[in-house]
Structures are given as structure tokens and as C-alpha cells.
Amino acid sequence: MNIALKYTTLGLLAISLSGCALFQKKTTEVPPQESGPLAPVIGGGAIGAEINAAGIRVCSDADRNALFATLGSEAGALETRVFYFDTDASNLKPETEGALMTHAKLLSKVGVARVQLTGHTDERGTQDYNLALGERRANAVARYFSAAGVKAEQMNVVSYGKERPVADGSNESAWQQNRRVELDYTVCR
């Protein structure tokens, strides 16, 4: 083989190998959600709205209680607005069905009411994985509501993944509390 051809081939090989780095997929960390009030959800937000601990515009206690009263004796089940999940799972637990069905009845009965379903995870796993898992959890509740007759425009799904824990710690007790979907009424009348 010609020496000039050999050096040319080696030079092209070196250039092509160093050039491969230009085409490598770069990964970047997704910045955490900013804290503070979110924009109003479909329907313009709540009348007499308040901002909850997560920065979500929600119905005032008075408006929410008036809405809940429309279900009479079933209204007590509506106080359950946090639903928990097993590790790395997005399927609803059987014990949540009673409260979920009562919320679905209310939402179907009062077509102007709106909810935000916020999915959360524990601290384990990557940020991207946990955002997707939180979304799957919130969508599991949304699918349950849809099957029970709640209109899609009455629901907003958001995932915060592991960014907004309610319990600090790296133990099973904290993880259990953080694997959840929170249901917040954003429009009550």
C-alpha cells in the first residue's frame, strides 16, 4: 500500500472518529418547575380562588364546601383528595374507588366544576422517569373519571414527578406519602 494513501486513510479515520462526537445525543437536566401560582385552568379559574401550598389556583374552602353539599350525605367522601400508589406503579388501589366514584358523581352532576390532577413520585429514579410516572398516575385517575362520565374539559393533568414531596426522608414512610395524585378543585361554580 502506498505510504501517502496509508497516511491519508489514517487521517480520514482520525477525523471521522473525532467528528462522531459532534453527532452524539446530548442530554440535559430538565430544570425543576418554578414555584408560584400557575395560570388559571380551563374555565378561567376559581371564583373566590385561593393559592394552595403547591401554588395551584384552587376553589376557596367556602366554594368547595358549597359544591360538595350538592351531594348531600355522600359529601364526606369528597374530603379524600389525595390518592396513593405503590412503588413504580400507576394502577389505582381498590381502596380509592369509593372516593374516586364520589368525585366522579359530583363532576358529572355539576358540569361546570373543574379539577386538576397532579401526579407525584418519591425521590428515587431520574427526573424524566418520575415526571412520566407522575403523569401516568394522574392519567389513571383521569381515565377512571372519563369512564364514569366526567368530561375531558373538566380535568387538567399535571406531573411534578419528585419535585414537590410532602414528606422529607429517604425511607419507606416518606416514599409512601410522596407517591400520590392530588385532586384540587379549580372551578367550583
Q: Per-domain residue ranges for the chain?
A: 36-187
Q: Looking at residues 25-45, what average pLDDT do you find?
A: 33
Structure confidence at residue 2 (pLDDT): 55
Nearest residue to 184 via CA among 60, 23, 20: 60
Least confident of 42-56, 86-100, 103-117, 139-153: 42-56
Class of 36-187 in CATH: alpha beta
CA angle 79, 82, 84 (to 5 degrees): 140
DSSP-derived secondary structure for 82-113: EEE--TT--SPPGGGHHHHHHHHHHHHHSTT-
Least confident of 53-62, 84-93, 96-105: 53-62
